[in-house]
Amino acid sequence: MGLRKIPEGPLRDGFTTGTSATAAAKAALWAMIHQTPPKEVQVVLPIEKVLTIPVHSCAFTEEWAKCSVIKDAGDDPDVTNKAEIGCEITLTKKKGEVLFVAGEGVGTVTLPGLSLAVGQAAINPVPRQMMVAALQKLLHDADWDFGVCVTVFVVNGVRLAKRTLNERVGIMNGLSILGTTGIVKPYSSSSYIASIEQGIDVAVANGIRELVINSGARSEKYLRALFPYLKEQAFIHYGNWIGETLKKIRHSAIQKVSLGIMLGKAVKLAAGQLDTHSCVSSWDKEFIARLAQKSGYNMQQQNAIKELNMAGRLPEIFPFQEQEAFYQQLLSCCYQQSKTILNPIELDLFLIHKEGDFIKYKRL
């Protein structure tokens, strides 16, 4: 999953799917209580901030209501931006209870290892807490001796979920309702890192002790043939956050890791840059030239490195072959950086060419 170029100028915050669902649930119960459709609702966020969110649609009777809002992710390139997220509310007999059901487009948990039990709607704990607090306050203020059943839905959620890693971690048939602060910070790493940690937790909970970590779908496709015996959950995408991924694995029950890496990220990792996003780090040509010198290459080849505009062009200087000393030296540095974090977990490294060829690190 690649990241888009960050826009210039101040970036606008958005709100999460959890905040969206809370707004829809609150609007629906308010409409049922007051028998009039609200134009907007206020949502109290976990960070003690209040957002006012417009209501997109609303229908109700005295015992049922259904409202939706349009999720606004601000300037974040979120797959759920502009998605219609709603809640259908029905009354229950038990005073104050709040039950949750996965409606159309909201996933169901099918594997252990998540913060939710198998069989539950994929509505994470913080959004549940937000909805419970909002709905119980409305019931209390109206002096209603009822509880509510909340069916959360996302229009086109099944289709949108295909653009996420939900199915890999056992969330089937839709999206997750997420959020810890209620706010989406544009281009924040937090959500990606959370998905990495979630994937590792699910792998461990399902008895997996060997992982293949790689930057994304393309590199995974190249590596799959080398590990036909591994389950899908054993493949983790680290994106640009190699360091965060390795730290999470270090404190897990994983026993072996195979790290697949392409040249553009390998030259950064070799130099100790554990966050490889282009906005955070760039490759150090002087460092790579010194690696070439250490491997016995001449001054002409060292200088040629400094003329390259991208690391992916290194095979123009050094043939992409397993016996080529430059790549083994590069992988040796990557190994040392990774092993410092992972030790004592077993580690293998695979350098991947953009055409799908790979070089395995040969430890001496």
Side by side, which strands form the sheet with 147-154? 57-60, 64-70, 84-92, 147-154, 98-102
- Alpha-carbon distance of 257 to 230, in angstroms, equals 12
- Residue predicted with more confidence, 279 or 187: 187
Q: Give me the phi and psi of 58, to 5 degrees please.
A: -155, 130
Q: What percent of the chain has pLDDT over 90?
A: 80
The closest of 76, 342, 340 to 184, measured between CA atoms, is 76
Q: What would the pLDDT profile of 262-287 be if each residue is shown by its tens digit?
A: 999 999 999 999 876 655 558 999 99
Q: How confident is the model at residue 299 (pLDDT cuts 50, 70, 90)?
A: very high
- Alpha-carbon distance of 86 to 242, in angstroms, equals 36
Q: How confident is the model at residue 77 (pLDDT cuts 50, 70, 90)?
A: confident
3-state DSSP helix/strand/coil percent for the chain, to nearest 5? 35, 25, 40
Report whether pLDDT(2) > 50. Answer: no
Q: What would the pLDDT profile of 220-243 be if each residue is shown by its tens digit?
A: 999 998 999 999 999 999 988 999
HEC string of the chain equals CCCCCCCCCCCCCEECHHHHHHHHHHHHHHHHHHCCCCCEEEEECCCCCEEEEECCEEEECCCEEEEEEECCCCCCCCCCCCCEEEEEEEEECCCCCEEEEECCCECEECCCCCCCCCCCECECHHHHHHHHHHHHHHHHHCCCCCEEEEEEEECCHHHHHCCCCCHHHCEECCECECCCCCEECCCCCHHHHHHHHHHHHHHHHCCCCEEEEECCHHHHHHHHCCCCCCCHHHEEECCCEHHHHHHHHHCCCCCEEEEEEEHHHHHHHHCCCCECCCCCCCCCHHHHHHHHHHCCCCHHHHHHHHHCCCHHHHHHCCCCCCCCHHHHHHHHHHHHHHHHHHCCCEEEEEEECCCCCEEECCCC
- State mean pLDDT over 126-132: 97
Residue 113 — left, alpha, or beta (φ > 0 → left; ψ -120 to 50 → alpha)?
left
Q: What is the pLDDT of residue 7?
A: 54
Give SS3 for 187: coil
Total residues belonging to the chain: 364
Q: How confident is the model at residue 1 (pLDDT cuts 50, 70, 90)?
A: very low
Report whether pLDDT(136) > 80. Answer: yes
- State mean pLDDT over 201-214: 97
Which own/partner contact pairs does 206-209 have at CB distance under 8 Å and 24+ positions apart?
206/111, 206/112, 206/113, 206/231, 206/233, 208/233, 208/234, 208/254, 209/253, 209/254, 209/255, 209/256
Q: What is the pLDDT of residue 3?
A: 44
Q: At 108, which amino acid appears?
A: T
The radius of gyration computed from the CA coordinates of the chain, to the nearest angstrom, equals 25
Q: How confident is the model at residue 4 (pLDDT cuts 50, 70, 90)?
A: very low
Q: What is the pTM of this model?
A: 0.82
